[in-house]
Structure 1
Amino acid sequence: MPATARPLHVSLVAIPDAVVSTLSGIYDVLGCFRMLAGADPSIPETPPFAIEIVAAQPGSVALVSGIPVEARRGVSEVVATDIVVVPSVLLGPEGWATGRYPEIVDWARRMHADGALLCSACSGVFLLAETGLFDDRETTVHWGYVPQFAKVFPRVPLSPQRVLVVSGEREELITSGASMTWHDLVLYLIARHVGATAAQTVARYFALQWHHDGLAPYIVFQGRTDHGDAAVADAQEWLATHFSVGSPVDEMVRRSGLAERTFKRRFTEATGFAPIDYVQRLRIEDAKRRLERTEAPADEIGWKVGYEDPAFFRRLFKRVTGMTPGAYRRRFQIPAFAR
Structure 2
Amino acid sequence: MGSSTMFALLDVLASVGRDWEALHGLEPCEVVSFETSLRTPTGAPYWDINGRKITPDAAFDEAPVPDLVIVPDLHVDPSAGLPEDMLTAADWIAGLSASGAVVTSVCTGALVVAASGILNGKDATTHWGVADALARQYPDVRVQRERVLVPAGEGHRVVTAGGASSWSDLMLYLIARYAGAETARQIAKVWLLTTHDDGQLNYASLTAGCQHDDKLIADAQAWAADHYMDATPVSGMSARSGLSERSFLRRFRRATGQSPAEYIQTLRVEEAKQMLETSDVSIDDVALEVGYSEPSSFRSAFRRKVGMSASVYRRKWRSVAPAAEV
Cα offset, 1:179, TM superposition: 1.7
Summarize the Cα distance change of 1:40–1:248 in structure 2 as closer, same or farther, 3 Å threshold. Answer: farther
**Residue 306 of structure 2 is aligned to residue 338 of structure 1:** no
CA contact (8 A) 1:40 1:201 kept: no
Partners of 2:136 and 2:268 lie apart in 1 by 28
Q: Residue deviations 1:130-162, cap 9 Å, x none?
A: 322122222111122234434543333322221
Cα 1:100–1:51 change in 2 (3 A) is: closer
**Residue by residue, what CA displacement relative to the aligned partner does 1:260-319 show, whole Å, maximum 9, x if unpaired?**
233223222322222211111100000111111122221221111111222221121111
Q: What runs of 5+ residues in structure 2 fail to find an aligned partner?
A: none
- 2:14 maps to what in 1? 31
What one-letter code is carried by the residue in structure 2 that aligns with 1:317?
Answer: F
Specify the alignment match of 2:171 in structure 1: 186
Match of 1:288 in 2: 273
Residues 69, 102 of structure 2: 8 Å contact kept: yes
CA distance in 1, matches of 2:105, 2:222: 37
Paired position in structure 2 for 1:88: 73
Give RMSD over aligned pairs.
2.4
Partner residue, 2:312: 327
Cα 1:270/1:209, change in 2 over 3 Å: same
Is the counterpart of residue 45 in structure 1 residue 29 in structure 2? yes
Against the structure 1 CA distance between its residues 227 and 106, is the aligned structure 2 distance closer, same or farther, given a 3 Å change threshold? closer
Q: What CA distance in whole angstroms lies between the structure 1 residues aligned with 2:225 and 2:87?
A: 44
In the aligned structure 1, how far is the partner of 2:199 from the partner of 2:111?
21
Distance 1:72 1:265, change over 3 A: closer
Shift of residue 327, structure 1, vs aligned partner: 0.7
Q: Is the 8 A contact 1:256 1:263 kept in 2?
A: yes
Determine the C-alpha separation between the residues in 1 that align with 2:305 and 2:163. Answer: 18
Any idea what SS the aligned residue of 1:144 has? coil
Q: How many residues align?
A: 321
1:58 to 43, 60, 74: 43
Distance 1:88 1:174 in 2: 14
2:167 and 2:244 map into 1 onto residues whose CA distance is 48
Identity of aligned residues (%): 34
Deviation at residue 40 of structure 1 after TM alignment: 7.1
Could you tell me how far apart the structure 2 residues matched to 1:307 and 1:313 are?
6
What are the residue-to-residue correspondences of 1:60-75 with 2, within 5 Å? 60-75=45-60
Offset of residue 232 of structure 1: 2.4
> What SS does the aligned partner of 1:37 have?
helix
What SS does the corresponding residue of 2:155 show, helix, strand or coil? coil
- Aligned counterpart in structure 2 of residue 303 of structure 1, from 288, 291, 296: 288
Q: Show the counterpart of 1:10.
A: none
Aligned partner letter, 1:77: E
Structure 2 CA distance for partners of 1:147 and 1:102, relative to 1, 3 Å? closer
Whether the 8 Å contact between 1:122 and 1:177 is mirrored in structure 2 is yes
> Are the structure 2 counterparts of residues 89 and 141 from structure 1 closer, same or farther at C-alpha, using a change threshold of 3 Å?
same
Question: Could you tell me which residue of structure 1 aligns to residue 130 of structure 2?
Answer: 145
Counterpart of 1:11 in structure 2 is: none
1:217-253 CA distance string (max 9 Å, x none): 1111226674444432222110011111222122223
Contact kept? 1:38, 1:45, Cα under 8 Å:
no
Q: Write out the 4+ residue segments of structure 1 that deviate beyond 6 Å after TM superposition.
A: none
Shift of 1:23: 0.3
When residues 252 and 288 of structure 1 are mapped into structure 2, their CA distance, relative to the original with a 3 A threshold, is same
Cα distance in structure 2, aligned partners of 1:77 and 1:133: 22
1:215 deviation in Å? 0.6
CA distance in 1, matches of 2:79, 2:253: 27
Cα separation, 1, equivalents of 2:298 and 2:243: 30
- 1:219 equivalent in structure 2: 204
The answer on 1:21 being equivalent to 2:7 is no
Shift in Å, 1:103: 4.9
TM-score using structure 2 length: 0.89
Q: Which moved more, 1:215-224 or 1:236-245?
A: 215-224
